[in-house]
């Protein structure tokens, strides 16, 4: 973990029980690393096995797009820790085909909502009562700027689910804030994860262009990035860690855009 690019306090989250869903790669992996470096007890999930999981991480292999998968995670965390102090609903993504609204079946829509909205709803419902009972806790929902800038050809159902997550997150914040639990959302734009970099390389090879030209094509497709580059997963992790920390004690019910300026000012 010595390659983490930002300074950190090794005891910032000491004694905190943190669940970060879908944190074996991408932004989730950077966030998991950040909380481990900060001294937290960390749990995560993934559909695939994770042979290289750090020994200190509580790992549950399951599909959070199903009720049974949620139940497995909840049972494991409750048995091992008896609850959570910080819940980061990071899992998400789209498996739907390209082609706009006509290409999407009922199953495509249901899967998008199960993974990108209902997984968070179900985990919140399981762990928030304990936070409320203790009078403290933090919940962070990871969304996407697609909740306001949907890409209709490829990720329409995903974008709609993330828009639902945004509305749900705000309503939940209004309900549980007076009970001591803070709820916020982080909405990334184009973040160059290892998966995104693979897409850049594939596009470059397919079109016989450089990786930088490929990267620029993707940035142009989403409306541009004024800072001139995609975000870095660790930059998202830093924002999440700040919002989960006591330094953000008065930040509640917010949606933080981290997109290099892609989202137009309104």
Tens-place pLDDT, residues 114-138: 999 999 999 999 999 999 999 999 9
Domain residue limits at 222: 194-230
Domain co-membership, 204 together with 88: no
pLDDT score of 98: 84
Query: What CA–CA distance (Å, rounded) separates 243 from 246?
Result: 8
Query: What mean pLDDT, rounded, does the chain reach?
Result: 94
Number of domains in the chain: 2
Tens-place pLDDT, residues 7-61: 999 999 999 999 999 999 999 999 999 999 999 999 999 999 999 999 999 999 9
Query: What CA–CA distance (Å, rounded) separates 19 from 4?
Result: 20
Domain co-membership, 211 together with 149: no
The CATH number assigned to the domain holding 145 equals: 3.40.50.720
DSSP string, the chain: -TT--S---TTTTTT-EEEETT-SSHHHHHHHHHHHHTT-EEEEEESS--TT--TTSEEEE--TTSHHHHHHHHHHHHHHHSS-SEEEE------PPSSSGGG--HHHHHHHHIIIIIHHHHHHHHHHHHHHHHT-EEEEEE--GGGTS--TTT-HHHHHHHHHHHHHHHHHHHHHGGGTEEEEEEEE-SB--HHHHHHHHHHHHHHT--HHHHHHHHHHHTT--TTSS-B-HHHHHHHHHHHHSGGGTT--S-EEEESTT-SPP-
Query: What CA–CA distance (Å, rounded) separates 27 from 24?
Result: 9
Is residue 3 included in any domain, yes or no?
A: no
Query: What CA–CA distance (Å, rounded) separates 89 from 19?
Result: 8
Tokens of 102: 């006509």
Is residue 164 included in any domain, yes or no?
A: yes
Is residue 8 included in any domain, yes or no?
A: no
Domain co-membership, 54 together with 180: yes
Starting at the edge strand found earlier in the chain, the sheet holding 17-20 runs 58-61, 41-46, 17-20, 86-89, 137-142, 181-188, 255-258
Catalytic residue among 4, 158, 168, 256: 158
Is residue 158 annotated as part of the catalytic site, yes or no? yes
Tens-place pLDDT, residues 133-159: 999 999 999 999 989 888 888 789 999
Is residue 60 included in any domain, yes or no?
A: yes
Is residue 5 included in any domain, yes or no?
A: no
Domain co-membership, 88 together with 113: yes
Domain co-membership, 82 together with 207: no
Is residue 153 included in any domain, yes or no?
A: yes
Confidence of residue 266 (pLDDT cuts 50, 70, 90): low
Domain co-membership, 138 together with 240: yes
Pairing of strands 86-89, 137-142: parallel
Q: Locate tokens 């945004």: which residue?
A: 166
Domain co-membership, 225 together with 236: no
Global confidence as pTM:
0.94
Whether residue 236 has pLDDT greater than 80:
yes
Is residue 207 included in any domain, yes or no?
A: yes
For 58, list phi and psi in degrees, rounded to 5: -85, 110
Is residue 4 included in any domain, yes or no?
A: no
């Amino acid at each position: 973990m010595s390659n983490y690019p930002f300074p950190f306090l090794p005891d910032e989250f000491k004694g905190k029980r943190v669940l970060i869903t879908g944190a074996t790669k991408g932004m989730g992996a950077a966030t998991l690393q950040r909380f481990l470096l900060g001294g937290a007890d960390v749990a995560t999930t993934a559909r695939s096995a994770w042979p290289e999981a750090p020994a200190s991480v509580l790992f549950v292999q399951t599909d959070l797009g199903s009720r049974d998968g949620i139940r497995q995670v909840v049972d494991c965390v409750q048995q091992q820790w008896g609850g959570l102090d910080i819940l980061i609903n990071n899992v998400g993504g789209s498996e739907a085909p390209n082609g706009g609204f006509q290409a999407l079946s009922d199953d495509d829509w249901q899967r998008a909502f199960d993974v990108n909205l209902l997984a968070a709803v179900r985990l919140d419902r399981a762990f928030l009562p304990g936070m409320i009972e203790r009078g403290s806790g933090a919940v962070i929902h990871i969304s996407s700027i697609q909740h306001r800038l949907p890409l209709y050809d490829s990720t329409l159902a995903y974008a709609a689910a993330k828009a639902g997550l945004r509305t749900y997150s705000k309503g939940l914040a209004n309900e549980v804030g007076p009970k001591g639990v803070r709820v916020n959302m982080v909405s990334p734009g184009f973040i160059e994860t290892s998966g995104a970099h693979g897409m850049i390389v594939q596009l470059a090879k397919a079109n016989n262009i450089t990786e930088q030209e490929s990267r620029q094509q993707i940035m142009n497709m989403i409306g541009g990035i004024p800072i001139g580059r995609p975000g870095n997963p660790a930059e998202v992790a830093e924002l999440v860690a700040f919002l989960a920390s006591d330094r953000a004690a008065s930040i509640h019910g917010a949606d933080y855009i981290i997109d290099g300026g892609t989202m137009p000012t309104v």
